[in-house]
A and B are shown apart, each in its own frame.
Chain A
Amino acid sequence: MRRRDVENENGNRLIYYEFDDEASGDEAEGVELERDESEYDDSGSDGADV
């Protein structure tokens, strides 16, 4: 599992999780690649609703 942190058009944090074909078994996870500090910028939030 890979994690790609980006920012969407509204300036909100957006994370894509990507899964390559993996053999079964445990692996260390939770370590992210291509992490960008700007992802935590929380300005202008009027995009997604729930």
Chain B
Amino acid sequence: MSELRWDPVGREWVITATHRQDRTFKPPKDYCPFCPPRDDGVPTAVTESDFDVAVVENGFPSLQEDPPAPAVDGDDLRPVEPAKGVCEVVLYTSDHEAVASELPASTFQKLVRVWRDRYRDLGSREEVDYVFLFENKGEEMGVTLQHPHGQIYAYPFVPPTIERELDSSRAYHDEEGTCLFCDLVASEVAEGERVVAENDSFAAVVPFSARYAYEVHVYAKDHRPSLDHCSVDECRELGSLLKRLLVAYDSLFGFEMPFVMATHQQPTDGTGAEYAHFHLEFYPPYRTAEKLKYLAGSELGAGTYINNKLPEAAASELAELVPERVE
């Protein structure tokens, strides 16, 4: 069963996907569905023993190219739609044990170019309005499979977090005639206080109003509505910067930092060229080596985040740990 149910109060779609209850939970390496095929003849999602970066359809998709009919009928107040879309898994490496921050910079550069291809490819589909590239990393984030991987959801609508950003950026563009994100990143780079790392094309900063202690956003320095607008060289620069950031994250507390990584960029419904601006956002749940940040009453019930860390202090701690160069 899967369908989209409209919440007329929150003004957002909720995906009901009951078949996902049955998915594989933390299998040992011998049963990893993303590892190359094994001798036991049990098929995995991949067919080759070694690969650079591979993308496979999600076997338990929340959104489907050919979705089933909804389980319930909607009405005018509460519309229901089929959960049409695409869910893919991006395998960063064929090595199950790989630690992402130890992968070569070239792997990150390849990954960014794969993201760009998936954005183009999935975004060109009529039914897809938004291509969301993301990663849930670490058991703390509910990850059930250790094999280094990220995900792609191609939604038939623009999801609310992205829509809210675009509404702000559109209004700002109407008033000021410039892109909100371009102005933000330029001022962060000029001030420097919250900059974690940068190169010619991208800057990683702890946002002024960070919601998580070590939240980092990575922005294109020039106006790039989406990855589709980034050159191969810019993709490489982004890859190198991501590797540097991950090295810093993993050295902060001496363990592999869990996080949710989200990419925000131009919807693929044709809107937003002037005011959408490609960036990534990282939300690590740890506020100290031992303490996790839980979303609770104020965050979940009221939508107001409480951050126990000064963003400027978090930025300088992370900046200290960012290597100048990576191979």
Contact = CB atoms under 8 A, between A and B. Distances in A.
Do A and B make up one complex? Answer: yes
Interface of A: 1, 3, 6, 8-10, 12-19, 24-27, 29-30, 40, 42, 45-50
B117 interface: yes
Contact of A8 (B47, B61, B231): B47
Interface in B94-115: 106, 110, 113-114
Contacts, number: 115
Interface of A is mostly: loop
Contacts of A8: 43-47, 56
Contacts of A18: 51-52
Nearest to B53: A17
Interface string B45-84: 1111001111111111100111000000000000000000
B58 A50 contact: yes
Given A8-B46, A14-B46, A29-B117, A42 B52 contact: no
Nearest to B116: A29
B23 interface: yes
Nearest to B117: A30
Interface residues of B, number: 43
B52 A16 contact: yes
B232 A27 contact: yes
Contact of B56 (A14, A24, A27, A40): A14
A12 B52 contact: no
Given A9-B47, A50-B23, A14 B145 contact: no
A49 B60 contact: yes
A11 B123 CA distance: 23
Interface string B120-138: 1100000000000000000
Contacts of B58: 45, 48-50
Contacts of B145: 49-50
Given A30-B121, A50-B23, A13 B231 contact: no
